[in-house]
Each structure stands twice: as C-alpha cells, then as structure tokens.
Amino acid sequence: MELWVRVFRDRAAGLDGDEWTLELNDSIEPGRTQRGWNQYIRNSYAQFRCSLCRRSWPSKQVQVLFHFSRESSLRRGTVRVRRFKQKCRRCSAARMEEPSFTVENIDVMVEKLMEKIRIRCYGEEPPESNRNLRFDGRIEGPHERLHCEACLKGICSQSPAQ
C-alpha cells in the first residue's frame, strides 16, 4: 500500500491546494457509496501468489474500486480503495490473496482516478488521455470466476452479470 500512497500523493499535489488522502478499505462495496461520495471502478493487470502452496498466477481481470469525496469547506478529500482478491485454484483451503501491481499500472490507475476527481469534484473538462495499462507475458487459460472476489460480488468484467 505504501507504493499506492506515494504515487497518489505525487499525483494529488496539484489538486487546487486541497489535501487528499488515500486509504485501503476492504469494506467498501461497489454501487454503495455514502452520500456525497463518488465511485470509480478500474480493471487492471496484477500478479497473485498463494500463501499456502506458493503458486503464482497473473490476471488481467483484477478489479480496483475507488470511492472518493471532497470536503471543499475543509479543503481536503479522501479516496478509499479496494483491490479485489483472487484465490488459488489448486488449494482446497485457499485464501483470497492480495494482488500485486506494477508501479506503472498503479501510476496509470491513479492518473485515471485523478481525471475522475478533477471532473466530479472540481468541475473540470475530461482531458485527452491515451495512456493504458500494460502487462508482459502470456496469460493462459480461462478467467477463474469461482476464485475471483470481484466475480463473486458481480462486478468483474468477466462476470456473467455484466
């Protein structure tokens, strides 16, 4: 999370002199924002590692949920982030594991988040941006819906509910 906070601080420094904070919050739910809060969901590429068998796997279907709000009178804003987990398909007692993102993909996600904040909290026009997330290597096999926390919540881009 330290890397996320550092990238976020660098990008949030230019937000109209307001102080913004980023916090990890696994209790936020898609489609359930508090009054005055906004939501942004981003799909990304990440790596996972099973804490039981040590197997690792890549996924290009990792959902990241952001809830954000600005208190203009206090000149501050808050972003809550939830990184949806996956579990190992080989271990019967597998735990949901945290994704590991590259610095470049964190930077792109935070850049896109800043665009949403500028539009929704500061009334700015959408910028022209063509920067996308990257991943190296091949990903073989189907998306494991039964092992994807975002699929189980119905928000994964690979979920049948979409």
Q: pLDDT tier at 123 (50, 70, 90 boundaries)?
A: very high
How many structural domains is the chain composed of?
1
Residue 162 lies in a domain: no
Q: Look-up: residue for tokens 């996972």?
A: 48
Residue 139 lies in a domain: yes
Residue 159 lies in a domain: no
Residue 160 lies in a domain: no
Q: What is the pLDDT of residues 32-72, one digit of tens each?
A: 999 999 999 999 999 999 999 999 999 988 999 999 999 98
Q: Distance between CA atoms of 143 and 156, rounded to whole angstroms?
A: 10
Q: What is the pLDDT of residues 95-117, one digit of tens each?
A: 999 999 999 999 999 999 999 99
**Residue length of the chain:** 162
Residue 161 lies in a domain: no
Please say whether the beta carbons of 42 and 113 come within 8 A: yes
Q: What is the pLDDT of residues 70-82, one digit of tens each?
A: 998 899 999 999 9
DSSP 133: -
Residue 108 lies in a domain: yes
Query: Stretch 83-99: mean pLDDT, rounded?
Result: 95
Domain enclosing residue 143, as ranges: 2-153
Residue 158 lies in a domain: no
